[in-house]
Structure 1
Amino acid sequence: MKNPDPLELLKNLKSKNNSKSQQNTFSILLFLKRSLMFLGLVFGTMLSLAFTDIPFYAYADLGTVESNYSESPEVIILLGGEGMPSADGLMRCYTATEKALYYPKTKIIIALPENKLSDEPLLASELMANELTIRGIEKSRISFETQGTNTHEQAELIFKKTESAARLLIITSPEHMTRAAACFIEEGFKSVGCSPTFEHDLSAESLLEKNGESYTPSLALRYNIWSYLQYEIRVGREYVALAYYKLRGWI
């Protein structure tokens, strides 16, 4: 029997290795191509939607939750969101102050988890409380909920501190309002009202539409498209959160 040629065996081995390497390279390139095509499709869809009013109405719809009571609220729930300092936190404090001054007998609960990694001497919830007090709200009206790490846990812990019959007014961002209200209702609160912190007046002027006989100026159109792209991201993220909460049985 003839012994195999070592050089021939080495060539065959290299050929097999090269073939596997080429297959792996091809698979990676194919994956990258499909990923880029998918991302391009997503971006193209988002950009196309930004030329319509759909993102605006989807965003506004998440923030539109009717109160299920007609009397004045007894407790204002200020959900902390991004905390302080932040534009979102200031908007929430501003809205909470307006409502607290309008309903002077209400108690205020600031719900914001404690950031144990922060070096700041004051907690973010305390900074929000300071923002309320400098605008004329008494400290005696303010209490805190810092243990809950998500909306479900916050609703659960606040339920233990208050009566289920208490009339609540929830302050949070527009896209978060539907989920927040659903969490508190699911927890057992019978009377829940909402006050979303819209940054702009929801008027016809904020839509991409004709104004008389002339279209919206190009600069305004550009900023509206950018705003609508941001709305799409917020709405998409919130839809995912709503689906997750629904699967967990929290709403």
Structure 2
Amino acid sequence: MYFYLGQSDTKLDTDPAYIVVMSGGGIPSESGLMRTYMTAEVAHKFKTAKIIVTMPGDYTDTLSSSYLMKKELVIRGIDENRIIFENRGTNTRSQALEVGKLMDKKLPTLLVTSPEHMYRSLKSFQKIGFTKISGQAAFSHPVEASFLFEDNELGGNNMIPNIGNNTQLRYQFWSHLNYQIIVYREYVAIAFYKIKGWL
């Protein structure tokens, strides 16, 4: 379900004129940093695209999340003159409406957000008239190193079962539990948006 939510059902047939990065939990936060990282990656690929940062607040305040998102993009080699702020929207629907005021909704647009937020974001933008919009989800990548270990080599109480070779118990169970919470929360948000007529 998490992977499905992160897929874009539309593809652009031309390079995007705009890259829109959704706000997330601010900077620093996992969602904010992942989204700005992915935005920088696609902005390097599409060098003429303008970047719209959707984050409420005062973007001239050097301590604000909107300013810090811009700073993250600049640190990653993005020219600050490419960056535009949408700082009025406070949820996905209002951010889509505000972005629609900043640009021609018929221009090709690439949306960057967290995987679980992609479906609702794309549908929200399409609902208000964006006709050429696709998404790039900011999926994280697993660490390539092995985290296996032998408990007995590390000392301590040998009466406890060896779990050093059981990554299912140590990591996957807890990761999947976290994904369930994220997905269930997002499906409730999608249902709410549909009832409101926002999707």
Amino acid at match of 2:31: D
Normalising by structure 2, we get a TM-score of 0.84
Partner of 1:77: 20
- Equivalent residue number for residue 141 of structure 2: 200
**More displaced 10-residue stretch of structure 1: 140-149 or 218-227:** 218-227
1:100 deviation in Å?
0.4
Instruction: Kindly indicate which of the two structures has a greater share of residues assigned to helix.
Output: 1
Match of 2:146 in 1: none
2:158 match: none
Question: AA paired with 1:241?
Answer: A
Match of 2:41 among 94, 98, 101: 98
How far off its partner does 1:105 sit?
0.3
Question: How is 1:42-121 mapped onto 2 (pairs within 5 angstroms)?
Answer: 58-114=1-57, 121=62
Q: What root-mean-square deviation, in Å, do the aligned CA atoms of Structure 1 and Structure 2 show?
A: 1.4
Q: Which amino acid aligns with 1:106?
A: A
- Residue 71 of structure 1 aligns to a residue in which SS? coil
CA distance in 1, matches of 2:69, 2:55: 10
Distance 1:220 1:236 in 2: 22
In 1, Cα distance between the equivalents of 2:42 and 2:19? Answer: 8
Cα separation, 2, equivalents of 1:97 and 1:66? 22
Counterpart position of 1:242 = 190
Give unpaired runs (5+ residues) of structure 1.
1-57, 202-216
List 4+ stretches of structure 1 deviating above 6 A. none
Aligned pairs for 1:118-197 within 5 A: 121-197=62-138
2:166 is the alignment partner of 1:225: no
**3-state DSSP of counterpart to 1:230:** helix
Q: 1:64 is matched by which residue type in structure 2?
A: Q
The TM-score with structure 1 as length reference comes to: 0.67
1:172-208 deviation digits (Å, cap 9, x = unpaired): 000000000000000100011111011126xxxxxxx
| Alignment partner, residue 47 of structure 1 | none
Structure 2: distance between partners of 1:169 and 1:148:
18
Q: For structure 1, which segment, 131-140 or 177-186, has the greater mean C-alpha deviation from structure 2 after superposition?
A: 131-140
**1:121: how far off?**
4.4
Distance 2:141 2:168 in 1: 15
SS at 1:83 equivalent = coil
- Structure exhibiting the larger radius of gyration computed from Cα positions: 1
Query: CA offsets, 1:159-182, max 9 Å, x none?
Result: 111102111111100000000000
Cα distance, 1:237 vs. partner?
0.1
Equivalent AA in structure 2 for residue 141 of structure 1: R
Determine the C-alpha separation between the residues in 1 that align with 2:125 and 2:19. Answer: 13
- Alignment match, 1:46: none
Superimposed CA distance per residue, residues 83-114 of structure 1 (whole angstroms, 9 cap, x where no aligned partner): 10112211111100010000000000000112
Q: Which runs of 5+ in 2 are unaligned?
A: 143-164
Paired with 2:137 and 2:19, the residues of 1 have a C-alpha distance of 12
C-alpha distance in 2 between matches for 1:182 and 1:221: 37
SS in structure 2 of the partner of residue 195 of structure 1: strand
User: What is the identity percentage for the equivalent residue pairs of Structure 1 and Structure 2?
Assistant: 42
Separation in 1 of the partners of 2:62 and 2:39?
Answer: 24
